[in-house]
């Protein structure tokens, strides 16, 4: 769900930056896919323009050094990099600009404009310094491109480009400046690209690849940039009276790995008042990884008490888009995405059920056990023995199960399985009591209550995935056959009074029972091994699902009446008043036992973990084994998986703080040993 930004917010579209308040449903807006930071353009799903609500808070994030601000409503989810999707009211009072200003790394379609680099350079000269002259010869109207230049450096550069391309031109004598006219035929070709208004056409901006973008940006310095500063320090700073020129470069650079800071001021030249537009462009890698500089600018958050304008926002496919306020580009949006609905979401329905709002691992959840043993008495040798024995007994990994069929009374109560996934039930007989892969784990931890804890994260294995896929296709077919439009196919649903809706509900509940029994069996193994070696007993057990749908009674936010609804939780933990829950961090960071506060605004729900700060693909490219090993010093682990490096996840302590109105922490747990399925 999108919330809102200040009325003056611009959004990057296929024709440059445009105020959201002037946006139409025909515009294509720049979506950032956070899996790879690549950009693609698509129509907005929804454009939001509304009055500020009664008692709604607005926050200003002021960049101290630049004297610029980003203004948002209290529930807008800022793309605060380490914690994607953190709402404004929960962001700390002091942060840094690097947390907000990031950009795409190029276009997803990976195409390129069919122009040479010199032809691209000429386009930027035309937009920045060119004029389109029109002559009416009665029989026809001719359009020619003219440049009026004074500086020898600029004249030499432009002539070099024209000669390289082989373009015909004339240079009439003029005492004040050097005029360069392109031939009519050559002018026609480039006018078709930039139009009579010297504005790059839609197809151009959305089809420039990264290499071509670099050519355009660096040529812009030659046209209207601080050339001397660039030669000395490599600084990219543009200044021009031509707003379209600045906007074009700002748009192209935002898509292709550069951060923008644009300014505007008025000045007088004789009796004329001129508007001067500035644009500082910084490569993202230089901004983030330098030891000092732009990225270390402090951002001070404070509440605005006198904001009385409209607020605006958009909903888009990925949930992340490139915006601009006060000339500063920043990425903003919603939260960590999943199929159909975001991971970490909870919502209620009355008469329908959505397979992908439960997710592909029905019943995935957590099991934690508190032992009577005090962690101060543990030694590295004992930890090593416990973890190796658990790893020997519990099967883990993709597709891995037991060698023999596992007995369970629940198999006798299984509902009828659809033909195409009957094999999943047979596989489940061998996978009961096994960990799985990905981020599923078994860990040994020490609590700030002085006790040793065991923890398991696992679900319904291959069974739940097959159930989700089968009934997602049935839901999609149902919506299609009944001409029901849904925002995305993964939001397809089944009525609860429909045969397939009832069938899915029973299949889902079977998967939940299987997942719970799966965790119970593994924890029994872990408890037996640990208690046997330590000579202790089990003090407490906690087991919860975080991928499921359940009938519950909640208060209607409009009428205030208690109603029974079907609450879907996908990567979300129930947090009813007094209910204990488990929120894990990562294999190298803390986890928490929490107690629910029963907050109806969240449907009594809290996050299911720290949440990923980057994709597995990104982590494998970015991290090195030796660095991950250093982060895990003092922790026993079965192997290094770069996609489970602690830096892949958001700061669990900040995540817990951000949810202080949903749960209160009871026990903080730090890892001693971890077996990961990845």
User: Of these residues, 76, 545, 546, 608, which one is catalytic?
Assistant: 608
Cα separation, 605 vs 572, in Å, equals 6
Using DSSP, state whether 410 is helix, strand or coil: helix
Cα separation, 453 vs 393, in Å, equals 19
Cα separation, 107 vs 101, in Å, equals 18
**Exposure string for 184-209, b = 16+ CB within 10 A, e = fewer:** eebbeebbebbeeebbbeeebbbbbb
Q: What are the percentages of helix, strand and coil residues in the chain, rounded to 5?
A: 35, 35, 35
Using DSSP, state whether 52 is helix, strand or coil: coil
Q: Examine the residue annotation and report whether 554 is marked as an active-site residue of this protein.
A: no
R_g over Cα of the chain: 30
Please, which contacts does 618-627 make with residues 24 or more away whose CB atoms are closer than 8 Å?
618/35, 618/36, 619/643, 619/645, 619/647, 619/648, 623/647
Given a contact cutoff of 8 angstroms between Cβ atoms, the answer to whether 112 and 212 are in contact is yes
For 662, residues 6+ apart whose C-beta sits below 8 A from its C-beta are 575, 596, 597, 599, 602, 605, 606
Q: Is 139 exposed, middle or buried (0-12, 13-18, 19+ CB in 10 A)?
A: exposed
Length of the chain: 678
HEC secondary structure over 109-171: CCCCCCCCHHHHHHHHHHHHHEEEEEEECCCCEEEEEEEEECCHHHHHHHHHHHHHHCCCEEC
CA dihedral 613, 617, 621, 627 (to 10 degrees): 50
Q: Using alpha carbons, select from 364, 305, 354, 352 the residue that is nearest to residue 74.
A: 305
Given a contact cutoff of 8 angstroms between Cβ atoms, the answer to whether 673 and 637 are in contact is yes
Tokens of 573: 């933990």
Cα separation, 38 vs 257, in Å, equals 9
For 436, residues 6+ apart whose C-beta sits below 8 A from its C-beta are 396, 397, 398, 458, 459, 461, 677
CA distances from 73 to 151, 205, 374, 423, 498 (A): 48, 31, 47, 50, 41
Given a contact cutoff of 8 angstroms between Cβ atoms, the answer to whether 63 and 635 are in contact is no
For 582, residues 6+ apart whose C-beta sits below 8 A from its C-beta are 366, 367, 368, 455, 542, 544, 573, 591, 592, 593, 594
Residues taking part in catalysis: 608
């Amino acid at each position: 769900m999108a919330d809102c930004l200040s009325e003056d917010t611009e959004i990057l579209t296929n024709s440059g930056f445009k105020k959201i308040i002037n946006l139409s449903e025909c515009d294509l807006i720049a979506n950032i896919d956070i899996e790879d930071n690549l950009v693609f353009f698509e129509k907005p799903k929804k454009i939001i323009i509304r009055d500020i609500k009664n008692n709604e808070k607005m926050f200003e994030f002021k960049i101290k050094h630049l004297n610029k601000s980003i203004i948002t409503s209290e529930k807008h989810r800022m793309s605060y990099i380490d914690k994607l999707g953190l709402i404004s009211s929960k962001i700390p009072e002091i942060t840094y600009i690097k947390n907000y200003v990031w950009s795409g790394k190029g276009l997803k379609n990976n195409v390129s404009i069919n122009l040479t680099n010199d032809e691209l350079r000429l386009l930027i000269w035309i937009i920045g310094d060119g004029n389109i002259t029109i002559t009416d010869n009665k029989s026809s109207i001719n359009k020619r491109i003219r440049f009026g230049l004074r500086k020898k450096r600029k004249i030499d550069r432009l002539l070099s480009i024209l000669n390289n391309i082989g373009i015909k031109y004339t240079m009439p004598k003029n005492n004040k400046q050097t005029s360069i006219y392109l031939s009519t035929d050559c002018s026609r070709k480039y006018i078709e690209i930039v139009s009579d208004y010297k504005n790059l056409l839609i197809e151009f901006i959305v089809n420039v690849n990264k290499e071509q973008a670099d050519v355009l940006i660096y040529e812009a310095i030659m046209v209207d940039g601080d050339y001397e500063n660039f030669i000395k320090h490599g600084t990219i700073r543009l200044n021009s009276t031509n707003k379209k020129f600045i906007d074009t470069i700002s748009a192209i650079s935002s898509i292709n790995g550069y951060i923008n800071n644009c300014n505007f001021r008025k000045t007088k030249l004789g009796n004329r008042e001129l508007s001067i537009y500035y644009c500082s462009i910084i490569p993202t890698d230089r901004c983030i990884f330098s030891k000092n500089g732009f990225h270390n600018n402090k951002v001070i958050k404070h509440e605005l008490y006198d904001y009385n304008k409209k607020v605006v926002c958009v909903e888009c496919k990925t949930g992340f888009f490139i915006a601009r306020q006060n000339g500063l580009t920043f990425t903003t949006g919603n939260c960590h995405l999943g199929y159909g609905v975001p991971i970490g979401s909870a919502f209620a329905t009355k008469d329908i059920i959505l397979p992908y709002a439960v997710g592909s691992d029905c019943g995935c959840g957590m099991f934690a056990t508190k032992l009577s043993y005090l962690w101060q008495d543990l030694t590295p040798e004992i930890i090593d023995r416990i973890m190796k024995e658990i790893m020997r007994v519990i099967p883990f990994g993709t597709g891995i199960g037991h060698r023999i069929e596992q007995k369970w009374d629940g198999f006798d109560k299984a509902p009828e399985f659809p033909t195409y996934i009957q094999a999943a039930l047979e596989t489940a007989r061998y996978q009961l009591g096994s960990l799985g892969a990905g981020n599923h784990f078994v860990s040994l931890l020490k609590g700030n209550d002085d006790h040793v804890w065991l923890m398991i994260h696992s679900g319904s294995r291959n069974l739940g995935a097959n159930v989700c896929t089968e009934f997602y296709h049935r839901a999609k077919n149902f919506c299609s056959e009944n001409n029901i439009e849904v925002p995305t196919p993964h939001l397809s649903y089944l009525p609860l009074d429909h045969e397939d809706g009832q069938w899915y509900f029973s299949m889902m509940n079977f998967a939940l029972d299987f997942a719970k029994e799966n965790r119970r069996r593994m924890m029994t193994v872990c408890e037996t091994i640990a208690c046997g070696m330590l000579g202790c007993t089990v003090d407490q057990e906690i087991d919860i699902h975080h991928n499921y749908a359940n009938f519950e009674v909640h208060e209607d936010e409009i009428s205030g009446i208690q109603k029974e609804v079907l609450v879907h939780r996908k990567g979300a933990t129930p947090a009813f008043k007094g209910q204990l829950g488990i929120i894990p961090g990562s294999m190298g960071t803390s986890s928490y036992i929490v107690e629910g506060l029963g907050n109806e605004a969240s449907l009594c729900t809290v996050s299911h973990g720290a949440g990923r700060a980057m994709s597995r693909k990104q982590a494998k490219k970015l991290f090195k084994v030796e660095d991950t090993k250093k982060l895990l010093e003092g922790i026993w682990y079965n192997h290094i998986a770069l996609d489970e490096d602690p830096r892949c996840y958001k700061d669990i302590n900040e995540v817990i703080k951000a949810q202080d109105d949903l749960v209160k922490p009871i026990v903080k747990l730090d890892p001693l040993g971890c077996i990961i399925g990845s």
